[in-house]
Amino acid sequence: MGMILEPERRKTDLIDFLRTIQRPDFPLQEIDGDLSLVESGLIDSLALLQIITYLEQTYDIDFREKGIDPGEIKSVNAILELIARESAA
């Protein structure tokens, strides 16, 4: 069962997680909510799989059932919206 976290806590946890998978050569101070994670160079496509695994384990989202829309995981804000939608379901 996924944890229900407050939106701010979700965002902090997500950004902390992204920092663990970001490309080491990407100098990142602030992750803007609307920053395109892959296009900006923050993460590579392999890291998208890690994000999906993180969401499945942390928020109990079953992507095998619902499928993955790349647009839903393109930025911090998009991921947070996905979490909120799935948590409310």
- What pTM value is reported for the model? 0.83
Q: Give, for all 89 residues of the chain, the pLDDT tens digit.
A: 455 558 889 999 999 999 899 888 876 667 789 989 999 888 888 899 999 999 999 999 999 988 888 899 999 999 999 999 998 86
How far apart CA 88 and CA 37 sit, in angstroms, is: 25
Q: Which domains does the chain have, with CATH numbers?
A: 7-88 (1.10.1200.10)
Structure-token pair, residue 74: 């393109």
